[in-house]
Every structure is written in structure tokens, then in C-alpha cells.
Amino acid sequence: MMKYINLALRWLFFALIIKPIVKIVIGLRYQNQPILPQDGPALLIANHNSHLDTMVLISLLPLKILHKVQPVAAADYFLKNKFMAWFTLNIIGILPIERQGKDKTVNPIEQCAKALDSGKILIFFPEGSRGEPEKMTDLKYGVVKLAERCPKVPLYPIYMHGLGKTLPKGDALFVPFFCDVVFSEPMTYENSQESFYGEVKKRFANMQDSVKLPKWD
């Protein structure tokens, strides 16, 4: 019973609060035709500059598959206290993983793979944490390992620009800027870890180049 109430709350939260904020107050500008999964399993990979990244990515997807969408997030950060844990687990719907090195008994890649096996759409930030506003840090190897573990699942690379200005790390003041979104053809794991890593990196570099907008001074 509680599960359905939480699902309904989650739907309402995104339909009535997040989607209007993302579409009207922030405003999305698609740089090309949207390329998005219509159903799970799928893996959305995106650059990470702001807490808003997750909100925008979820808003890109149709509400009817909302119940399958799970952003992958660090357990130690998002499950800090009881309310935050309830909110992130049930309303945002995160898949909490232990960051590497913290607890060796659970394998975060395996946690994500299980969710994909059950048909979920995961939102995954290959950079790890958010970093400096509007700057991409180097990708970590987690995404490659996950893709190798689930070679049939399509990866949808998405690049977002502007959210690091709207709500950067460590700042609570929301200042609206348009968010430019770039989509890329879905990809699946092939060849070796190194070559796939290079391929993903190249995709992000290309998408980043297609947005010619001012960076912060």
C-alpha cells in the first residue's frame, strides 16, 4: 500500500512541480532532435554539474515510464538523514550505491546491473561527482564496467549546458539560465574496455563542441 502512495506522490511531484520548473522557469533548448529510450532497460549517461541534472533528465522522459527511472546516486551523501533518505529513495527514486572503497562487500556495478536486468532506466553520471560549474572532469571507468557487464543495454549519452550556472555545487540560490541539451545516438559495449572508454569520451567531446555558448569568466 505504502508503495503505491509513494509512487503516486512521485508522479505528482514530477508532473506538477519539477516538469513545470524545468520547462518554464529554466527552459530547455534541444540542440538536435531528442534521442531517448521509450522503455527500459536503458542507461542514460550525462555530464554532472548540478543537482538539477537529474531533474532535467527525468523531465526529458515521458511520465508514463517514470516508475522505471532510477538515478544512480551515492548512498553516503543522499541517505544522510531520515527525511532525506525517504525523499531521495521514494520521490526522486534513486538507486543508492556505496562509493568505491567504502564497503568492499557490495559491488556498485553489480547493483546497477541488477536494476538494468529488471528493465529499469538508470541515470548515470560517469564523472562521479558534480565538480566545478560548467566544467567536465575526466570520466571514470564505472560506466565502461557497467556497459561490459550489460552488453545488450543501450547507452544514451546526453550533454547539458547551463545548469551549473543555474544551481552550482555548494550554492542554494537558484538563478535561471536556459539549459541546452545535446543528444547522441545510443551505443552498446564493444571491443575492449579502453576502446569503449575512448568512444564514450569522444561522444561527450563532440556534444560539448556543438554547444557554442559562453562559459563562466
Contacts for 86 with CB less than 8 Å, ≥ 6 apart = none
What is the Cα–Cα distance from 175 to 45, expressed in whole angstroms? 25
Tell me the pairing of strands 155-161 and 95-97: unpaired
C-alpha cell at 61: 522522459
Alpha-carbon gap, residue 80 to 60, rounded angstroms: 28
Q: How far is the CB of 138 from another protein (least distance, A)?
A: 22
Question: Can residue 211 be called a binding residue for another protein (CB under 8 A)?
Answer: no
- The residue with cell 549517461 is 45
Q: Report the residue number, 26 or 143, with the smaller CB distance to another protein.
A: 26
Query: If binding is defined by CB under 8 A, does position 162 make contact with another protein?
Result: yes
What is the smallest separation between the CB atom of 159 and another protein, expressed in angstroms? Answer: 16
Q: How far is the CB of 36 from another protein (least distance, A)?
A: 19
Nearest residue (CB) to another protein, 2 versus 175: 175
Bond into 41 cis (ω within 30): yes
* Contact call for residues 97 and 73 (beta carbons, < 8 A): yes
Tell which one of 151, 152, 172, 217 touches another protein (CB under 8 A).
Answer: 217
Binding mask 112-141 for another protein (x = CB under 8 A): ---------------------x--------
Rule CB under 8 A: say whether 176 interacts with another protein.
yes
Indicate which single residue of 168, 183, 203, 204 sits in contact with another protein (rule: CB under 8 A). 168
Distance CA 60, CA 209 (A): 22
Binding site for another protein (CB under 8 A): 27, 29-30, 133, 162, 165, 168, 171, 173, 175-178, 212-217
